[in-house]
């Protein structure tokens, strides 16, 4: 089963994918997390991606497509995709890769949120470098300040969460990624729109309600 979660930076994709993955026993595949892991490990891909990520631009399609095709294969097609596809080219390549394996996208969720809410979410975000769990200094605090609840590791702030980079990421989203929703709508997919401006728990509840109603997820 493949679920695609769309939405702008800071909409809550990572937060919600973690919950959806647990609920439906899927592998959470975040293209951003995988790229950050490459950077931390100093791989060639990580080195190539760094300058794009730090300036809020998209990493070139050909680098991402190969990376994500491998990740989906390792997950045996049982995954929730977070941050991929991010361009129409990536969406088309994903279709080709899934077709080749006789798989399909089972559900597409779009987290809808106003740009004005996003900056506060991003600047207050703290993440666990070990397990990727995402917190917020005001709305989603860890039990012990600055420490991951699950791993006990010190939380970090992402280098691309500076206000000027956040603004560039939003612009990139509107220019290149918003069109992905139109691509899927044109192909006849049902897109589950979710109001991502609500609390974390309300967003999760609404997503699960809509996914269950689609009666694709067991
Ligand atoms: P990526 O890591 O995917 O970043 P993003 O899409 O910009 O999204 P974020 O991870 O910043 O936000 P999110 O939606 O996951 O929100 P989160 O749950 O953390 O990509 C980073 C970079 O990698 C890109 O800029 C690009 O360079 C590159 N890249 C990645 N994929 C690519 C691709 N396919 N093609 C090309 N390049 C690619 O939540 C944010 C904060 O808000 C947290 O603090 C959280 O606690 C809080 N929060 C969440 N939900 C709520 C809520 N409902 N109420 C209150 N607070 C909330
Ligand atoms: Mg994320």
Ligand 1: centre distance to CA 7 (Å): 9
Q: What pLDDT does residue 39 have? A: 95
Q: What three-state secondary structure class fits 80?
A: strand
Cβ–Cβ < 8 Å for 192, 185:
no
Count: domains in the chain: 1
Query: Is residue 146 situated within a structural domain?
Result: no
Contacts 24+ apart (CB under 8 A), 121-125: 121/10, 121/12, 122/9, 122/10, 122/161, 122/166, 123/161, 123/163, 123/166, 125/10, 125/157, 125/158, 125/161
Alpha helices in 42-123 (DSSP H): 44-55, 61-74, 88-100, 115-123
Query: Is residue 57 situated within a structural domain?
Result: yes
C-alpha to C-alpha distance for 183 and 178, rounded to whole angstroms = 9
Please compute the mean of the pLDDT values over residues 93-118 and round it to a whole number. 95
Q: Given pLDDT bands bounded at 50, 70 and 90, which one contains residue 129?
A: confident
Ligand 1: centre distance to CA 69 (Å): 20
Query: Is residue 147 situated within a structural domain?
Result: no
**pLDDT 10s digits, 50-98:** 999 999 999 999 999 999 999 999 999 899 999 999 999 999 999 999 9
Q: What pLDDT does residue 214 have? A: 86
Query: Is residue 63 situated within a structural domain?
Result: yes
Cβ atoms within 10 A of the Cβ of 128, count?
Answer: 20
CATH number for the domain harbouring residue 95: 3.40.50.300
| pTM, two decimal places | 0.94
Q: What pLDDT does residue 212 have? A: 94
Mean pLDDT of the chain: 94
C-alpha to C-alpha distance for 122 and 45, rounded to whole angstroms = 25
Q: What three-state secondary structure class fits 125?
A: strand
The boundaries of the domain holding residue 48 are: 2-113+177-217
**pLDDT 10s digits, 192-216:** 999 999 999 999 999 999 999 986 6
Query: Is residue 143 situated within a structural domain?
Result: no
Query: Is residue 161 situated within a structural domain?
Result: no
Q: What pLDDT does residue 175 have? A: 96
Query: Is residue 164 situated within a structural domain?
Result: no
Q: What pLDDT does residue 216 have? A: 60
Ligand 2: centre distance to CA 189 (Å): 23
Query: Is residue 139 situated within a structural domain?
Result: no
Ligand 1: lining residues by beta carbon, under 6 Å: 7, 9-15, 30-32, 35, 52-53, 56-59, 64, 83-84, 86, 90, 121, 124-125, 134-136, 139-140, 160, 169, 198-200, 203
């Amino acid at each position: 089963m493949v679920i695609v979660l769309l939405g702008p930076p800071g909409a809550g994709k990572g937060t919600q994918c973690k919950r959806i993955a647990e609920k439906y026993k899927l592998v959470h595949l975040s293209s951003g997390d995988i790229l950050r892991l490459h950077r931390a490990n100093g791989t060639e891909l990580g080195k190539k991606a760094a300058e794009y990520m730090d300036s809020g631009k998209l990493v070139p399609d050909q680098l991402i497509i190969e990376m994500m095709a491998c990740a989906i294969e390792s997950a045996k097609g049982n995954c929730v995709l977070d941050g991929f596809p991010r361009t129409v080219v990536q969406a088309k390549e994903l279709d080709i890769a899934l077709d080749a394996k006789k798989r399909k996208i089972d559900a597409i969720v779009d987290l809808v949120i106003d740009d004005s809410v996003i900056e506060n979410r991003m600047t207050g975000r703290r993440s666990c470098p070990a397990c990727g769990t995402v917190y917020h200094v005001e709305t989603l605090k860890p039990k012990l300040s600055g420490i991951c609840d699950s791993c006990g590791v010190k939380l970090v702030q992402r280098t691309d969460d500076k206000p000027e980079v956040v603004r560039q990421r939003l612009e990139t989203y509107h220019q290149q990624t918003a069109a992905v929703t139109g691509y899927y709508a044109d192909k006849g997919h049902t897109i589950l729109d979710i109001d991502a401006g609500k609390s974390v728990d309300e967003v999760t509840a609404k997503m699960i309600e809509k996914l269950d109603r689609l009666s694709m997820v067991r």
